[in-house]
Amino acid sequence: MRQPGNKTDFSPLAEALLRWFGDNRRDLPWRQTKDPYCVWVSEAMLQQTRVETALPYYHRFLERFPTLADLACSSEEEVLTAWQGLGYYSRARHLRQGVREVQQRFGGQLPASYEELRSLPGVGPHTAAAIASICFGRRRPALDGNALRVASRWWDLHQEVESPPARRFLHQHLQEAMPADRPGDFNQAVMELGATLCLPANPRCDLCPVASLCLARLRGTAAELPLRRVRLPPRPIEVVCAVIHRGDDCLLRKRSSKGLLAGMWEFPTEPVETETSPLQSLAVLLLSWGITGEISSPCKKLAATFTHLQWRMSIFLVSLPIGAGPSGSVWRWAALSELQALPMGRPHRRVAELLERALPGHPEDFQGFSP
């Protein structure tokens, strides 16, 4: 295993990087404020999401919840609806839980210290470091995916980049490189370099402002780095989705408060039982829910991919007579016109869009759909 290179002179690195950042930084809305609440919202949205995707959500979210207090007094359903389509919904739930704790523990003001920020729900090391450095001037490296990639190349680190020893090494070197008077700008400059030039594939070393100080470039190893753990592809599972309707009213179920798409409304969806067909599984499920209805066949097919899982969905239309259906807090009837205002995961939002075209009056249009 190649060992990390010797520590370089950090002053030229920080100086060159910050000069480049001043001339080339993207005009992003969260860079126009030092409000820690706004920075927190942006960091939550940018976890596992590209800037271009997050931008419209950021504007809409702050229009709906302009202050920390507004978010703290909102319902979970309101927050999930505002987050709808952005994915990874635990980020939205944690953000709401976190601001409520800020109201209770810190009088509605986000704390300045990294340790207190880390104590909030959903605030990981990167988010806490970003808020502490950008909003409060604390010298703490923000190690997101871009920063890990950039720093692993600067110091030619041939270790699995997310391993504890590698993170400790990069944290120490970045903290030493970080100027005391501009820690927030330095963190943002490192992330900006990773997002625009120091790319995962085909890094633009010819345009890099610190290329002369990058050990991986000098040694010709930049394209090999960072080293990452091999991730398994999403595991496919067969699921059945029941679109149960009375006229143009649809039966929805609220998912569990934990796990995949937690707390979201859905057209009832369950894994297909082993060695049974989707239609047979649906018949058993309807019986367990106390539902007797007419199942349309054939079903529609849809694929939905999550981080570790892929649903292979068989979607059936089930017609109920007026007045029939289950009861309980996890069930609700909703007209087609109401679906857009309810928090639903992307797979079920796609089904809802199909229904808007097929119902009312033309349920036959629901047949034979494929992605």
Q: What class has domain 235-366?
A: alpha beta
Q: Where are the domains of the chain?
A: 10-224, 235-366
The Cα 189–Cα 178 span in angstroms is 11
Q: What is the CATH number of domain 10-224?
A: 1.10.340.30
Placement of tokens 């202050």 in the chain = 67
Cα–Cα nearest to 81, from 101, 97, 65: 65
Q: What is the mean pLDDT of residues 174-195?
A: 96
The Cα 325–Cα 246 span in angstroms is 9
pLDDT tens per residue, range 68-115? 999 999 999 999 999 998 988 999 999 999 999 999 999 999 999 999
Listed in sequence order, the residues at least 6 apart from 366 whose beta carbon sits closer than 8 Å to its beta carbon are 243, 296, 300, 317, 354, 355, 358, 359
pLDDT tens per residue, range 137-149? 999 999 999 999 9
> Which residues are part of the catalytic machinery?
43
**pTM for the predicted model, two decimal places:** 0.84
Orientation of helix 90-106 relative to helix 36-46, angle to 10°: 160
